Structure 1
Amino acid sequence: MFAEERQSLIVDLVSSSSRVTVSDLASRFDVTPETVRRDLDSLEGARRLRRVHGGAVAFDRQSTSELSLEERQTQNHDEKKRIAAAALTMIPKSQTGSILLDAGTTTELLADLLVDWAPAAPDAELLVITNAVPIATKLAGNEAVQVYILGGRVRGLTRAVVGPSTIGQIDSLRPDIAFVGANGVHAEFGFSTPDAVESAVKTAIVRSARRVVALADSTKLDKETLIRFAALGDVDVLITDALPSDELATALAAADVEVVIA
C-alpha cells in the first residue's frame, strides 16, 4: 500500500471515530509504529488531523475550540431537550428548595421548562440561582420562581457571568442542587471546558452544591477540553442521551456517579 493511500485511510478512520492510536494503526496496516508516526506528522502538517499523545484526533477537536451560544443552540437540540426533561424531574415541587443553573445550552433548555413551573404545595418555593443572563431573563417572568443572578463580568461568547466576584458569591452559597454543563467528560481527565474563567466558576459551582448534576449530551463523552473543572467523583449524577463507552462507564461507576440516560 502506498503512503498516500494509507494516509487517506487514516484520515477516514479519524473522521469516523474521532481518535486513533499509533499501535492500532500499525497493526491495521501492518507497518511499524515509526511509519505511522511519520504518516501522522505529515497529515498534521497538512491540517488533516491533530497529533496527541499516543495517536491523533480529528483536526476540529481542539482543546480550546469553543462555539458561540447561538451556534451551540442548534446542535443536538433534541438530545439536549431530553436531558433537560430528565433534569427537571430531579427538582422537587412539594417543598422549598434552591437550585443553581450553570450557563449553557442544555441548562437553558432546563430553564425553558421552568418558565411555567408551579409548586405542588401552596407554601413551596423554588429559588433559582444562575450565572447565565439568558436563563435569568427567561425565568424573571415566573412569579412562582425567585431568581437570583450572580454578579460579575458577562462573557459575550456564552452570556455567562464570570470572574472573582462571581466565584466569591458562589462560595457563600449552599444550593440544594447544581446543574452544570461540560464540554468534555473523560474517564481519566474528568469534566472539562475550554475557557479558564468559566472553568473557575464551574469549579466553584461544583464545590458549593449539596448535590451536583452534570448535563452533557453524548458528543461530549470521551472528550477532553483544555481545563478540568471537576473530577468524576466530584459529581453525583451525569445525565446524557446515550450509554457511555465501556471505559467511561467503568470510571463513572468506580467514582460512584449515577448515570441517567434520557
Structure 2
Amino acid sequence: MNQHERHGVLLRLLAERGRLDVEAVAAEVAVSAATIRRDLDQLAEQQLLVRTRGGAVPNDVAYDLPLRHRAGRDAAEKERIGRAAAAMVERGMVVGLNGGTTTAAVARALAARADWGPDAEAPADRDGARGDGQPAVTVVTNALNIAAELAVRRSVKVVVSGGVAMPSSYELVGPLAGHILREIRLDIAFVGADAVDAEHGASARDEHEASINALLAARAARLVVVADSTKLGVRTFARICPPADIDVLVTDDRAADTAREFEDKGMAVVRA
C-alpha cells in the first residue's frame, strides 16, 4: 500500500470511527507506528484532521473524505464502468457529467477514445479534432477536476457550469450553476451518485449537490447513472432523480443479484 492509499484509508477510518489510535491503526494497516505517525502529521498539515497524543481526531469543519483520497477505492471497477459508459457516446454529442470518482473515470475514458475516426465531410486530425475545427464531443460539467482534465484535449469542447465550489467533491453548486444548466440541452448525461436504490432512485449526501445533479439529469435526452456495486441498494439524504427517470444503470460485475431489482423496474443495466 503506497502513501496515497494509506492516507485514503486513514481518512476513511477516521470518518467512520471519529478517532484513530496510532498503534491500533498500524497493526490494522500492517505498517510501522512511525509510518502512521508521519502519515497523520502530513494529513494534519493539510488540515484534514487534528493530531492528538497517540492518534488523531476530525478537525472542526464539515468532515467528508476529499475526492482525491476517495479515488483509490474500487479503482479497477470504476475504470471499467468509465469505459463502458464512454462507449455510449457518439461523435458530435453533447455530454453531461457531474462530479465524483466514477464520472471522472468516464471523463478519462472519453478523452482516451481512439475511435473518433474521420468524418467523410470533416476528417479528424491526430488530436481528435475535426478538420473543420469542431471538437469530436462537447462536455458540460459542474466538476472542476473533470473540466481541468478535459480542457487540454483538443477533441473535447468543455463547458463549465459556474457556481460555488464544494471542497470535498470539486462540484460547482448554487444559483449560478443552475442558471447555466437551464439554458442548455444534453444528448446524454452520466450522473454519479452516493446511492442508487431501485425504489428511491439516485441520491446524494449533500442537498446542494443533489439539486444541481438533478438539473443536469433533467436536461438530458438520455440519463445514465454510473455507480459501482457498493452504491446499489442504498439510500442517502437528498434525491437526485426517481428510478423512472433512469434509462441505463452502468455498474460493475459484482452487482449481479442487486442489478435484477433495477431491471425489474425497466432500466437497462450494464455490468462492466
1:98 aligns to 2:98 (yes or no): no
1:121 aligns to 2:118 (yes or no): yes
Using the TM superposition, give the Cα deviation of residue 71 of structure 1 relative to its aligned residue in structure 2, in angstroms.
2.2
Residue of structure 2 in register with 1:249 after alignment: 260
1:180 aligns to 2:191 (yes or no): yes
Letter in 2 for 1:138: E
In 2, distance between residues paired with 1:65 and 1:203? 24
Any stretches of 5+ residues in structure 1 without a counterpart?
1-63
- Contact 2:232 2:258 (C-alpha < 8 Å) held by counterparts: no
**What SS is found at the alignment partner of 1:83?**
helix
- Contact 2:259 2:269 (C-alpha < 8 Å) held by counterparts: no
Matches within 5 A, 1:41-190: 66-93=64-91, 96-117=92-113, 119-122=116-119, 123=122, 125-190=136-201
**What SS is found at the alignment partner of 1:92?**
coil
Q: Which segments of structure 1 move beyond 6 Å, counting only runs of 4 or more?
A: none
In 1, distance between residues paired with 2:250 and 2:80? 9
Q: What is the CA deviation profile of residues 54-87 of structure 1, one whole-angstrom value per residue up to 9, with x for unaligned ones?
A: xxxxxxxxxx985320221011101000100101
TM-score, normalised via structure 2 length: 0.67
- Contact 2:99 2:192 (C-alpha < 8 Å) held by counterparts: yes
Letter in 2 for 1:146: K
1:200 aligns to 2:196 (yes or no): no
**What SS is found at the alignment partner of 1:81?**
helix
Closer, same or farther in 2 for the Cα pair 1:247/1:120, shift >3 Å?
closer
- Contact 1:114 1:139 (C-alpha < 8 Å) held by counterparts: no
In 2, distance between residues paired with 1:180 and 1:191? 9
Cα root mean square deviation, aligned: 2.0
In 2, distance between residues paired with 1:109 and 1:244? 19
Letter in 1 for 2:118: A
In 2, distance between residues paired with 1:116 and 1:75? 21
Letter in 1 for 2:208: V
Letter in 1 for 2:188: I
In 1, distance between residues paired with 2:204 and 2:63? 10
Percentage of pairs with the same residue:
35
1:259 aligns to 2:269 (yes or no): yes
TM-score, normalised via structure 1 length: 0.70
- Contact 1:116 1:142 (C-alpha < 8 Å) held by counterparts: no
- Contact 1:193 1:199 (C-alpha < 8 Å) held by counterparts: yes
Q: Which of 221, 225, 236 is the matching residue for 2:247?
A: 236
Closer, same or farther in 2 for the Cα pair 1:92/1:240, shift >3 Å?
same
Using the TM superposition, give the Cα deviation of residue 117 of structure 1 relative to its aligned residue in structure 2, in angstroms.
4.1
Using the TM superposition, give the Cα deviation of residue 246 of structure 1 relative to its aligned residue in structure 2, in angstroms.
5.0
